[in-house]
Structure 1
Amino acid sequence: MTLLPRQPYCARYTSDGPVVGFAFDSQSGLHAFASDRVVPFRAYPNGLAFVPTGCDVYSSSERGGEYLTVRGALDDLQTAPFSDHVDCQAAALAVRIRGHMLKPSPGDALMLEEWSAALVDHARAAFAKPRDRQTKRLTGYRLKRLDDFIEAHLDENVTIGMMAAQLGMSEGAFSRCFRASTGKSPYAHVLDRRIARARDLLIGTSFDLAQIALAAGFSSHAHMTSVFRQRLGCVPSHFRAHP
């Protein structure tokens, strides 16, 4: 993901991978997509855009505007480029992503990855035919295989890309299927597993809190404390004393 600042720009390139974009501001200038014909454009705020692999792009603006790009998106589908698709839920996701990119906090990596996958899903829905919108579910065998992988790597930086690769799926398809199969997001599931391991270690070992946080995959003792407050209503030390 990249957050481009509000400034004048002039860009010409051939996309080496699919890109979903989101415009926070209105902007105007000149552009050409998959064509040598340069024409004036005016983009409105809160608009989704998509550039497929191999698309020739020219765009320039004397003013520019703040713009979010997510690369490697929609790799399981083919479509023509589009822009200015307004989606209120996508706008809310983009604002969350922007806020966390500007002011990151511990443990955000997987959550940001999940939000970016959700943003891509909204771009996908902008052009998908009704039959393409049907989401398949993961089999019990595949869910068990995924849980075994998560448990074995819980003390590492588990990403959506890693989980999707275990099942031979794209990140977007994996996120959709996982939510349809379990009723929760991959991020929430991994967080549940981290909490469960931390609780077991708090009760069953004499490890200090920093050791437990790292063993459960939290980025720090402070991160674990924050999650316990939000999800369990208490801090780890209190849970250890009153399991």
Structure 2
Amino acid sequence: MLMAHDALPAGDQAFIEDRFGDVPGSDANSAVGRRRSRKGAKLAQWQLKKAQELMFEQLTGALQVIEIAQGLGMSTMHFTKAFKNTVGIPPYGWHLRQRIARSASLLHDDALTLAQIAAECGFSDQSHYTKAFRRLLGITPGKWRRTLKTGSLRGDEIIRLNPVR
């Protein structure tokens, strides 16, 4: 399965990983296979993979956690807790990061407007998309696109100029 993060050019992947840390769930860590820890239940490797596949299918719209939980034969609450215990962030946070990573790859295409990219990645409007992008990456999508064209700022320089609060 190709994650949105994996579709990015190497420089963009490095910047995004630097910004949010390694994209949770982009590769399974060694704790994934364990079913229980002191913090609670975790998803088995196959459950995590299936959950991510189901969430990736919903990348262009609102996340339906209940459908994913049902697909795994779990209650919504149990799935949400187990996913967070396994990945480190709730399903919505993982889904949002995947949508932002996909949008970052679409910013390379000058034929697409920011509003089109927002719609393609499941955001209700350009404003919502811009706020989510800036909150996670510390830079607006428009500025990201301009830096792609000019190459004027490297990822580490963007981080220093735009710290996320």
> Post-superposition shift, 1:177?
0.4
- Let me know the Cα RMSD of the aligned residues: 1.9
Which residue in the other structure is 1:232 paired with? 137
Which residue in the other structure is 2:88 paired with? 183
- The answer for unaligned runs of 5 or more in structure 1 is 1-132
**Shift in CA distance, 232/172, structure 1 to aligned 2, threshold 3 Å:** same
TM-score (norm 1): 0.43
1:73-103 deviation per Cα after TM superposition (whole angstroms, max 9, x unaligned): xxxxxxxxxxxxxxxxxxxxxxxxxxxxxxx
- The answer for unaligned runs of 5 or more in structure 2 is 1-37, 149-165
Query: Hey, what's the Cα distance between the residues in 2 that align with 1:158 and 1:225?
Result: 19
Which residue in the other structure is 1:59 paired with? none
Higher relative contact order (CA 8 A, sep 6+): 2
Which residue in the other structure is 1:203 paired with? 108
Larger radius of gyration: 1
TM-score (norm 2): 0.62
1:143-163 deviation per Cα after TM superposition (whole angstroms, max 9, x unaligned): 111111122221122122122
Query: Hey, what's the Cα distance between the residues in 2 that align with 1:205 and 1:149?
Result: 30
Query: Hey, what's the Cα distance between the residues in 2 that align with 1:223 and 1:134?
Result: 33
Query: Hey, what's the Cα distance between the residues in 2 that align with 1:152 and 1:139?
Result: 20
What percentage of aligned pairs have identical amino acids? 34
Which residue in the other structure is 1:81 paired with? none
Query: Hey, what's the Cα distance between the residues in 2 that align with 1:151 and 1:229?
Result: 22
Query: Hey, what's the Cα distance between the residues in 1 that align with 2:104 and 2:39?
Result: 37
Q: Which of 99, 111, 114 pairs up with 1:194?
A: 99
Equivalent residues, number: 112
Query: Hey, what's the Cα distance between the residues in 2 that align with 1:178 and 1:225?
Result: 27
**Is 1:168 the counterpart of 2:73 in the alignment?**
yes
Query: Hey, what's the Cα distance between the residues in 1 that align with 2:70 and 2:60?
Result: 18
**Is 1:241 the counterpart of 2:146 in the alignment?**
yes
Please identify runs of 4+ aligned residues in structure 1 that moved more than 2 A. none
Which residue in the other structure is 1:135 paired with? 40
- Higher fraction of helix: 2
Q: Which of 35, 57, 70 pairs up with 1:152?
A: 57
